[in-house]
Amino acid sequence: MPLTPTPHNSAVAGDIAKTVLMPGDPLRAKYIADTYLDDVRCVNEVRNMLAFTGTYQGNPVTVMGHGMGMPSIGIYSYELFNFYDVDTIIRVGSAGGYADDLQLRDVVAAQGACTNSRYAHQFNLPGDFAPIASFDLLERAVAAARAQGVNIRVGNVLSSDTFYEETTDAALAWKKMGVLAVEMEAAALYMNAARAGKKALCLLTISDKPLTGEGLPADERQTSFNQMMEVALALTTPEA
Ligand SMILES: O=P(O)(O)O[C@H]1O[C@H](CO)[C@@H](O)[C@H]1O
Ligand SMILES: O=c1cc[nH]c(=O)[nH]1
């Protein structure tokens, strides 16, 4: 029985490239496709979770939104890894900076992803799982960033089930552990990649600082992340 299309994705297996870039916002996926890809076609519109397949410097790549939160990226990345034979997913997201020395628009590579979610419980492990990036992708992202003159920070992030918090207690506690920034999906992506034996990396642009109240406006969140996108796109080329 064919596994594709799925209830969430009308693409069939050959429509999706081996490497997929995933922002949370489907309009950011469209922006990446319109700005950087050639020979683009839209391969999914189910729930408006837009997916586009094209080429970047001659190499096939798909760009698809994943929505907000771990249940959402959990579904899309599971299907891409297990039903569409995708090898590599690179999330290109926004994050709230915790570290004092992170500024708005800085780029972070999530080497590890702490989480307050129970996503790992489905794997019935006799302990806590440490969700980590593919070292190969991480190493290549750092090299690509240096080559492009992008100052990239590498470290731990928090993948949170909540965007809004009653107090700053949790943020301050994670910050004390050296966690650089908060977002909402990397841990689930890294776990799905680990379980499927595939590769994943989460790159983030700092869109706000929850502990100081600084933030970029919504339109800039959608379109101002070009440095991060260009580092991610460099990983789609064999020579990167
Ligand atoms: O900008 P994206 O990639 O959606 O990432 C961040 O923004 C959303 C919250 O505003 C969450 O999805 C969080 O992870
Ligand atoms: O998840 C997110 C993303 C951006 N900023 C935050 O504070 N949290």
DSSP code string of 139-203: HHHHHHHHHHT--EEEEEEEE-S-S--SSSHHHHHHHHTT--EEESSHHHHHHHHHHHT-EEEEE
Most informative mutation of 66, 161, 185 for ligand 1 (most atoms within 8 A of CB): 185
pLDDT score, position 203: 98
- Please report whether residue 136 resides in a domain: yes
Of residues 240 and 200, more confidence is placed in 200
End-to-end CA, the chain: 37
pLDDT band at residue 134 under the 50/70/90 scheme = very high
What is the average pLDDT score of the chain? 96
Report the sign of the C-alpha dihedral through residues 140, 143, 146, 148, in that order: negative
Q: What digits encode the pLDDT tens for the residues 187-231?
A: 999 999 999 999 999 999 999 999 999 999 877 776 669 999 999
Whether 135 and 112 have beta carbons less than 8 Å apart is answered as no
Indicate whether this model's pTM tops 0.80.
yes
Q: What is the CATH number of the domain that holds 171?
A: 3.40.50.1580
- Please report whether residue 8 resides in a domain: no
- Structurally, how many domains does the chain consist of? 1
Ligand showing the shortest atom-to-Cα distance for residue 207: 2
* Model ipTM over 0.95: yes
- CA gap 3, 181 in Å, rounded: 36
pLDDT score of 185 more than 60:
yes
pLDDT score, position 238: 81
Q: Domain residues for 77?
A: 19-235
Q: Whose CA is nearest to atom 7 of ligand 1?
A: 94
